[in-house]
Amino acid sequence: MTQRFRLLWLTLALLLVLLAIEFGASFLPLGRSARPLVLIPAVLMVGVVGTSFMEVGRGPEIIRLFAVAALLWLSFLLGLGSLDALTRIEYPVQAANPR
């Protein structure tokens, strides 16, 4: 078995382990607001697929530029798009007194 095939098998095993961690973490008693933390293994899995199956580290420099640009613009999109929702302070509204 060559180095390349060994790496592919290791990648598959790593992805399945991360998937199992993610699956198990979904049953932890996290608060409702903290539950998106379950996405962390998924983000790691995306990184593993990108580096191993898609071989982002191989080939011309410009493909890494495209990959970084995609992540940068995605972070702008998600960061700026959710900024208001995640930072707005909700003050309790006092019910109007009926006259």
Partner 1 sequence: MSEASQTHEFQYSNAHHQAETAISGMWLFLATEVLFFGALFLTWIYSRHWNQAGFDAGAQQTELAIGTINTVILVVSSFAYSAGVAFIETGNGRRLIQCCAAAWLLGVAFLILKFGIEWRDDFAKHLFPGTGFALHGPLSGGAQIFFVFYFLGTALHGLHMIGGLALVGWIILRASRGEFSPAFYTPVVVVGLYWSFVDMVWIVLYPMIYLVGRGP
| Contact footprint for partner 1 (CB under 8 A) | 2, 4-5, 8, 11-12, 15-16, 19, 22-23, 25-30, 32-33, 35-36, 38-39, 41-43, 45-46, 49-50, 52-55, 58-60, 62-63, 66-67, 69-71, 73-74, 77-78, 81-82, 85-86
> Looking at beta carbons only, is 89 or 97 nearer to partner 1?
89
> Looking at beta carbons only, is 36 or 98 nearer to partner 1?
36
Closest distance of CB 94 from partner 1, Å: 21
What is the DSSP secondary-structure string of the chain? --HHHHHHHHHHHHHHHHHHHHHHHTTS---GGGGGGGGHHHHHHHHHIIIIIS-TTSS-HHHHHHHHHHHHHHHHHHHHHHHHHHHPPPPPPPPPPP-
> Looking at beta carbons only, is 5 or 91 nearer to partner 1?
5
- Tell me the C-alpha distance between 5 and 11, whole Å: 10
